[in-house]
Amino acid sequence: GNSVTQMEGPVTLSEEAFLTINCTYTATGYPSLFWYVQYPGEGLQLLLKATKADDKGSNKGFEATYRKETTSFHLEKGSVQVSDSAVYFCALRMDSSYKLIFGSGTRLLVRP
């Protein structure tokens, strides 16, 4: 079946460090891909998305590129801030379905 695999956390970085959170997917077809972020005590917020191969989603300094060849959608940010500390979820959705399929989430801790 369709699934998403994320790197295990927590990921601990110092402020201004470069961030990569790996995400790969398995799907029969070409899904839309998403990154959601969950700050403490809050719901899941859409961070960025890409709907077809080679699309780059970007928001708040975060970027991810839909790579069909490697079935990946890695999240990157050039310089993290303490306020980026949160749990990040990679997800996919097939066009024929309402269902978002999530990865297990990666907790990011950014130290001052």
Of 75 and 103, nearer to another protein (C-beta) is 103
Residue 95 to residue 112: CA distance in whole angstroms: 41
Beta-bridge partner residues of 2: none
Only segment of 22-30, 58-66, 70-78, 87-95 that touches another protein (CB under 8 A): 87-95
Q: What are phi and psi of 72, to 5 degrees?
A: -130, 160
Q: Is 69 in the site for another protein (CB under 8 A)?
A: no
List the one residue from 50, 89, 92, 106 that touches another protein (CB under 8 A).
89
List interacting residues with another protein (CB under 8 A): 32, 36, 41-46, 49, 89, 93-105
